[in-house]
Amino acid sequence: MQPMTRRNMLSRTSCLGTAVAVGLPLISAGTEELPGQQSSTTKAKLKVVVTGGHPGDPEYGCGGTIALYSDLGHDVVLLYLNKGEGNDKTAHDPNPVRVAEATKASEILKARPSFAGQIDGKAIVDQVHYEQFHRLMEAEQPDVVFTQWPIDNHPDHRAISLLSYEAWLRMGKRFALFYYEVSDGEDTVQFAPTHYVDITGTEPRKRSACYAHASQAPDRFYALQELVTRMRGIESGHKQAEGYIHLVQSPVVALP
Ligand SMILES: [Zn+2]
């Protein structure tokens, strides 16, 4: 993808519901901030962390946005709560399938995979795991974090959302925090975006990254997620879009 001009970057991003002009990651001029908030959009290179309950969640919820960020030269990490294995099998398997799939998906999106070490379907949210996850996030020093919306029918999705929120609090609310949606109705419930990113140009790479998770019935799940991105596209005036909810107390930063 060619570097985008400021004009077409502005046109790519729609912001509804709040009077926020979304910042430009590589061009600091023109960034606006909410009163009392600071923006880190003046940094030339952003660290973007996308947290998800399982391998595949960041890709399904944010894959088009991730591809835009990485194409712009930003550093993107996909931080998965677990390795997609429901017991300790992964620890003894030298070639765990879902880790290989996540690695391939990350390569397609030019991101780096990372794993928080929990077990699929047995997410734990307590003081020990808040502290462990906080340390992981401190090591990354993110400018922007995307995580799952906390009202969700999968307990691992709720867990990663709470762990991410607690890390944001413990780190002094200093990174921008956005929530994303997956498999609405089945998983995410009652999600009303405040921001949209036009992913029309990067949707094919998002699709490839999702299909890299070949063990996870991508025909079924991608069809469902594409309904969501087409609906968000209708809402925001694009062919396909990803919708986000910006946490109002977090900095206003840089959607691509
Ligand atoms: Zn999941």
> Rounded CA gap, 178 and 247, in Å?
6
User: Ligand 1 centre from 218 Cα, in Å?
Assistant: 13
pLDDT at residue 88, as a whole number: 60
Q: Residue 104 and residue 114: Cα distance in Å, rounded?
A: 13
Determine contact, residues 68/22, Cβ cutoff 8 Å: no
Distance (angstroms) between ligand 1 centre and the Cα of 233 equals 23
Beta carbons within 10 angstroms of residue 58's beta carbon: 34
**Residues at Cβ < 5 Å from ligand 1 ion:** 53-54, 57
Place of tokens 């926020």: 20
Compute, in angstroms, the gap from residue 59 CA to the centroid of ligand 1. Answer: 10
How many Å apart are CA 222 and CA 104, to the nearest integer?
A: 17
Confidence (pLDDT) at 85 = 85
In the sheet that 241-246 helps form, which strands lie side by side, from edge to edge? 13-15, 195-198, 241-246, 176-180, 144-148, 47-52, 75-82, 112-118
**How far apart (Å, rounded) are the C-alpha atoms in residues 196 and 194?**
7
Long-range contacts of 94-98 (CB under 8 A, 24+ apart): 97/215, 98/55, 98/213, 98/215, 98/216
- Please give the distance, rounded to the nearest whole angstrom, from the Cα atom of residue 196 to the centre of ligand 1: 21
Task: Classify 155 in phi/psi space as left (phi over 0), alpha (psi -120 to 50) or beta.
Answer: alpha
Q: Which residues of the chain fall short of a pLDDT of 70? A: 1-42, 87-95
CA of 255 to the centre of ligand 1 (A): 23
The pLDDT value recorded for residue 18 is 37
**Predicted TM-score of the model (pTM):** 0.85
pLDDT at 152: 98
DSSP 8-state secondary structure symbol assigned to residue 82: E
CA distance 196 to 255: 9
Can you tell me which residue has the tokens 């930063």?
253
Q: What pLDDT is recorded for position 91?
A: 56
* 120 Cα–ligand 1 center, Å: 9
C-alpha 54 to ligand 1 mean position (Å): 5
Task: Please tell me the predicted confidence (pLDDT) of residue 254.
Answer: 72
52 CA from centroid of ligand 1 (Å): 7
Going from the Cα of 17 to the center of ligand 1, the distance in angstroms, rounded, reads 27
What are the residues whose beta carbons fall under 8 Å from the beta carbon of 232, sequence distance 6 or more? Answer: 193, 196, 240, 241, 242, 243
Cα of 215 vs centre of ligand 1, distance in Å, is 13
Tokens 């999600």 map to which residue? 191
